[in-house]
Amino acid sequence: MTLIDFHSRDLERLRQADRHRELRAPAGHDFSSNDYLGLASSDVLRAAARDALDGGLALGSGGSRLLRGNAPEHEELEAEAARFFTSEGALFLGSGYAANTLVFSTLPQAGDRIFHDELIHASAHEGMRLSRAPSEAFAHNDVDAAADAIERWRAKGACGTPWIAFETLYSMDGTEAPIADFAALADRVGAMLLVDEAHAVGVCGAQGRGLAAALHGRDDTVTLATCGKALGCEGALILSSAILGDFLINRGRGFIFSTAPSPLIAVVVRESLKVIARADDRREKLRGHVDRAERVLKPLGITSTGSHIQPVILGDDARTMRIAAALQARGFDVRGIRPPTVPNGTSRLRLSITLNVGEQTIDDLAAALGEIL
């Protein structure tokens, strides 16, 4: 069998299991993007990009940050982000995937152990695969399970540092983490915290600083704030102490050997931070959308998560994709989510509530979903 034959057969197995994926352009009312505050196409971010280009700013960085790719715009964004999030330091990466991979593969050391929520992002798993430290999953949002796992590890004579990793708002379930309890556990056992705020930044907390804003500035906490979701741009910010940021610059292969993000994007992200700081009106409007979705979906037997991420668990892969296709045919951009993105047997529709739709459209989606179900 040739390599092409192997890949061809593997793709056919995916088709037979209703797990084959294809790229598809956006079409219909937005119930699938992470552009929660509707900023991706906003005039204010367009203007920031236009002004920077008119001022002669280059599109590309031309190299890694440690060579010629370190632009003033990168440093200005990082300084602004550190101030906004009240963190000692900030480091800008090209994507949330790159940032998570960098953090998990670089900071925990041999002799340490990473204890992570079982539903944590795939990018965290990729970083753990590259890490010097072994990893262990604990049950979703179960602080006691994490504590027990750390205790068992210590009982075996381990003397390294435990790292506790979780998301503050889970991307496929819409559930919030017990953040304060994890912080208390870290204090009790001398652990470091790796906190992924990807789906909370911009939407949650005072001025959109996220659900874990109270942890910013702690030496034992590293936080990921992505820029490609509610901020409407792309890239990610790693918030940490100055020492850990310096360590990532000097030891993080994903940083050292990557071409720097576009300075133009750094300008737009910086502007977006200013926008979300004064976007209480947008957050209030989104809260109204979430409440509306809860009311109209409840008669369908769908339990609300209370957040802007609402899964509709269907279980069967084929049925999930049929229902998603039926909704798309009616003009609603709803996507089916299947394993391995979610656990086996939990295929679902992921309804993303954003400001790119109005309340009437939310009502119409619920009516269509009810008819199809």
Catalytic residues: 34, 121, 167, 171, 196, 199, 229
Paired with 113 in beta bridges are 162
Please check whether residue 171 is in contact with residue 198, taking contact to mean a CB–CB distance below 8 angstroms: yes
Q: Which residue has the tokens 């993105």?
A: 341
Taking CA atoms, 121 is separated from 23, 169, 170, 346, 364, in Å, by 21, 11, 8, 16, 31
Q: Where are the alpha helices (DSSP H) in the chain?
A: 3-16, 43-54, 72-84, 96-106, 122-130, 143-155, 179-189, 242-251, 253-256, 263-277, 280-297, 317-329, 359-372
Within 13 A of 366's CA, how many CA atoms are on the CB side?
21
- Strands lying side by side in the sheet with 192-196: 89-93, 236-240, 221-226, 192-196, 162-167, 113-117, 135-138
Residue 296 DSSP label: H
* Residue 150 CB partners (closer than 8 Å, separation 6+): 113, 115, 162, 164, 185, 189, 191
Q: Is the distance from CB of 300 to CB of 370 less than 8 angstroms?
A: yes
259: DSSP letter: B
Q: How many whole angstroms separate alpha carbon 358 and alpha carbon 286?
A: 10
User: Residues 6 or more apart from 8 whose CB is under 8 A from it?
Assistant: none
The residues with which 169 forms a beta bridge, in sequence order, are: 176
Handedness of CA 306, 312, 315, 321 (dihedral sign): negative
